[in-house]
Amino acid sequence: MSLRVRSCRAHSGCVLVVNEVNTEPEGRANMPKTSYSKPSVGATGKTGSWRTFDPVINYKECSKCRTCWLYCPEAVITLEDDGTPHIDYDYCKGCGICAQVCPRKCIDMVRKGTRDEEDEE
C-alpha cells in the first residue's frame, strides 16, 4: 500500500484500519470491565512498514549535535553518551524531518530497499 499524503484527508484513519496488532478477537472472559490500556512500544505494530524512504545517517559527517533527535516526531532516534544517533528502523515512519533539520545535511532519504544495512554502524 502506498499513501498519497497530498490527497489524504482522514487523519490516521487508514493507520487504524490496517492495524494488524490488536485486532485478534479475544473472549470476554479475558477482558477487563472497561478499556484501559497499558503503555507499549509498538502499540500500532512495527510502524517502520509505513516508510517509503529510509533515513540514512552519514556517520563520517555527523557532528553529534542531537538536532535529529530533538525534532524526531516518533522518538525513534536514540543517542549514545557522546550524542551519536541511531535510528530504529522497526518503527521509523520515514517522515524525513531528521534529514531536513540536520545542520550538516548528513542524513539522506533513500528509497526503501536500497539502503546498505551495514552503513548503520
Partner 1 sequence: MKTELMSANYAAARAVVSARVEVVAAYPITPATTVPEQIALLSEKGIYKGEFIRVESEHSAMFACIGASSTGARAFTATSSNGLLLMDEALHWASAARLPIVLANINRSVSPSWNIHVSHDDSMSKRDTGWIQFYVSSVDEFYHTIIQAFKLAEDERVLMPTMVNADGFVLSHTVSRYDYLEPEEVDKFLQPYSPPHWVMDPENPVAHGNIVFPEHYQEFRYSMHEGTKNALDVYLEIEAEYKKLFGKYFGGPIECYKCDDADYIMTSQGTIGAEARDAIDQLRKDGYKVGSARIRMYRPFPIDHIRDLAKGKKAIASFDRSVSYGFGGPVANDIRASLYATDIRPLIKSYIGGLGGRDITVPDIKEILLDLIKHEESGEAGPEETWHDLR
Partner 2 sequence: MMVATKEIPLKEYVLKGNAACAGCQDMVALRHAHKALEGDVIQVVPACCTSVVQSLWPKVGMNIPILNTAFMASGATASGVKAALRAKGKDDTTVMVWAGDGGTFDIGLQALSGAFERRTDMLYVCYNNQVYSNTGTQRSGATPLYAQTTTTWFGKREPEKLLDLIVAMHEPAYQATANAAYPRDLFDKFKRAKEIKGPKFIHIFIPCPQAWNYPVEKGVEIGKLAVETGYWIMWERIGDKFELGRHSKRFQDPSKRKPIEDFLKLQGRFSRLFKPEKDEEKIKEIEDYIQHRWDILLKTLT
Q: Can you tell me the distance from the alpha carbon of 33 to that of 36, in angstroms, rounded to the nearest whole number? A: 9
Burial code (b: 16+ CB inside 10 Å, e: under 16) for 35-50 equals: eeeeeeeeebbebbeb
14 in contact with partner 1 (CB under 8 A) = no
Q: All 3 cell numbers of residue 58?
A: 552519514
Least Å distance between CB 41 and partner 2? 5
Q: How far is CA 45 from the centre of its chain?
A: 11
88 in contact with partner 2 (CB under 8 A) = yes
For partner 1, which stretch binds (CB under 8 A), given 35-43, 54-62, 84-92, 105-113? 35-43
9 in contact with partner 2 (CB under 8 A) = yes
Q: Can you tell me the distance from the alpha carbon of 25 to that of 10, in angstroms, rounded to the nearest whole number? A: 26
74 in Cβ contact with 93 (< 8 Å): yes
Select from partner 1, partner 2, none the partner in contact with residue 18, using the beta carbon and a kind-dependent cut-off of 5 to 8 Å: none
In the complex, the residues that contact partner 2 under the rule CB under 8 A are 5-6, 8-12, 15-16, 19, 21-23, 35-47, 50-51, 65-67, 69-76, 78-79, 83, 88, 90-91, 93-97, 99-101, 109
In the complex, the residues that contact partner 1 under the rule CB under 8 A are 16, 19, 22-26, 28, 31-39
